[in-house]
Chains A and B, each alone.
Chain A
């Protein structure tokens, strides 16, 4: 039982998280303060919600680099809708629909028009950033959201933010979906062997389209929760978050080759990345230096993933 558990991909990320928590609690005396734990929660929840979307794309063998821009767009759109006097449920609904549409655009480009996933989503990221920033104006950050909107990000239940509970609910939903539902298992088929899944009769393009649509929806949800937590829209939201999610998913057992990964792994990977950022912040490390570390980590993760894939292909005699 223990041996089987140790071989699972999720245990690597779990061990990494545990090691970081241990190191942080020894090295820093502010780690266990309420304020630090709160900020840790607020950084884990939105990123993890986006990472679930990234994970289902990765399982199919695709990527979504546009989630950062969709998150920013969601944040600025909620500010805009607030200016127009929408009530809280309408703001959330409209923003989620916008996220879904952005996800559908990705799906259209990748699944229907068959454009390379990386270029298409980088293009959408670029367009989305431009679109979001046309909505932005300086006065936006001084206008107040309604109290019930802020409560969504700031309210706590049993000592944890609502957004953590939302994340846990989505985690449970995705775990069940990916493990026990037949539509969830199809993602692994599509990612594992595209040709075979097509021969069985799966509509792989529809599956990929839906994955992108759900990813857009989740990114918008994360954007709304994050903006409710910081209480005003900012133009810096979502920068580099696609990298964090991608690294987190691969550390948590996903693979760029597709066909692998789980929702729990994505959440643990995000927890690891957030703890790492938290450690950098507690050590007062420069933000740009953190970017250097994230970039190098991404390369390391890609190389290790590529090496493992190569080994697997050799073992299967495909090379």
Chain B
């Protein structure tokens, strides 16, 4: 009933290609062309590959975030749960002598429980999801610091992190996994009944309940999935760094919100797409890579990224805010 791009539920919308909702594609291409023309070392296979490699970890934090933003909820704890994945990986490998195959699922399970608890509190008491997840963010970040300080820079043995460097056809497998996850979710969001209902919940929460949908349960499950996937990304990132580090996932939430919103998601809910979020994350990392290649100070980069976030939200309010 809807075109597979804008994906609002209005029936009169029959355009096949919505220019506005794919603005992220043009932004990314524009930035890409600009950097290729102005920077000498930019357009090399190694550079692009390494940017994509970085993006592939952070993207996992954005998957659950996108599902939640479609329902109009914002999860600010993705950054610190990303870090928690790394901290728990270190804990299980160093202290409990587990192998990485056991450590990552365990870390994901613990993160999933945290997400479950946060989701339960948010839906049961009708709380503002941002406020609760700020609390979760603080508590988890503190825990990460305590754990990682105890490790004191110990390295993860090669046998444990070796799997992260596997390549398929000359491309790191995490990049392929990222693309596969994005495309699969995009298809499911467009076609499957279970994921399509997220748009209904985001568009009109009370009507979905009247139709007999257990919207609160869906939200709780998505919070849990968001936490687990963030921890997964963080654990992979830690394997790449070869040791748990406190900067893993620091300030990631700002980049992820920016990525999702310039990727066409709306903080009012009911909009969003996984492939465009992936492009958004890629855009944010490309921007950071470009700014670094222009020798722009990290803190100035922070000012620019924050301004882009506020601008993107402002446009979102202008375009989608009137609806509600």
Contact = CB atoms under 8 A, between A and B. Distances in A.
Interface of A: 65, 109, 113-116, 118-120, 122-124, 126-127, 129-131, 133-134, 240, 243, 256, 286, 288-292, 294-296, 298-299, 302-303, 306-307, 310
Contacts of B128: 118, 256, 302
A227 B142 CA distance: 26
Contacts of A114: 317, 321
B155 interface: no
A114 B138 CA distance: 27
Centre residue among A119, A298, A310 by max chain B CB count within 10 A? A119
Contact of B142 (A123, A289, A307): A289
Contacts of B134: 65, 243, 298
Centre residue among B74, B76, B146, B257 by max chain A CB count within 10 A? B146
B142 A127 contact: no
A119 B257 contact: yes
Contacts of A299: 118, 121, 132, 135-136, 139
Contacts of B307: 123, 127
B305 A115 contact: no
B142 A292 contact: yes
A291 B142 contact: yes
A273 B267 CA distance: 33
Contact of A126 (B305, B313, B321): B305
B299 A130 contact: yes
B37 interface: no
Contacts of A256: 128, 131
9 contacts: A115-B313, A118-B130, A131-B299, A133-B302, A134-B299, A134-B303, A289-B146, A295-B137, A306-B126
Given A122-B254, A126-B254, A303 B299 contact: no
A256 B299 CA distance: 32
B143 interface: yes
Contacts of A294: 138-139, 142
Contacts of B126: 306, 310
B135 A123 contact: no
A76 to B, nearest CB: 11
Q: Shortest 7 CB-CB distances between A and B: which pairs?
A: A295-B139, A295-B138, A130-B302, A291-B142, A127-B306, A292-B142, A306-B125
A67 to B, nearest CB: 14
A232 to B, nearest CB: 20
A130 B309 CA distance: 14
Given A120-B313, A130-B299, A133-B302, 9 more contacts: A65-B134, A109-B314, A119-B257, A122-B254, A288-B143, A292-B142, A295-B135, A295-B136, A295-B137
B317 A290 contact: no
Nearest to A304: B125
A116 B303 contact: no
A290 B125 CA distance: 26
Nearest to B144: A288
Contacts of B140: 295
Interface in B277-318: 297, 299-303, 305-307, 309-310, 313-314, 317
Nearest to A120: B310
B131 A130 contact: no
B141 interface: yes
Contacts of A109: 310, 314
Contacts, number: 127
A195 to B, nearest CB: 14
Contacts of A116: 267, 313, 317
Q: Is the interface of B mostly helix, strand, loop or mixed?
A: helix
Contacts of B314: 109, 113, 115
Contacts of A240: 138
A84 to B, nearest CB: 20
B41 interface: no
Contacts of B313: 115-116, 119-120, 123
Contacts of A290: 142
A133 B131 contact: no
A134 B306 CA distance: 15
Centre residue among A109, A291, A295, A310 by max chain B CB count within 10 A? A295
B251 interface: yes
Interface in B81-125: 118, 121, 125
A267 to B, nearest CB: 23
Contacts of B118: 299
Contacts of A310: 125-126
A302 B132 contact: yes
A244 to B, nearest CB: 11
A124 B135 contact: no
B125 A303 contact: yes
Contacts of B74: 118-119
A142 B168 CA distance: 54
B145 interface: yes
B184 interface: no
B306 A288 contact: no
A63 B302 CA distance: 22
B127 interface: yes
A310 B128 CA distance: 13
Nearest to A292: B142
A41 to B, nearest CB: 26
Contacts of A295: 135-142
Nearest to A135: B299
Contacts of B137: 295
Contacts of B76: 122
B306 A286 contact: no
Contact of A124 (B141, B143, B306): B306
Centre residue among B143, B149, B299, B314 by max chain A CB count within 10 A? B299
A126 B138 contact: no
B302 A288 contact: no
A292 B145 CA distance: 10
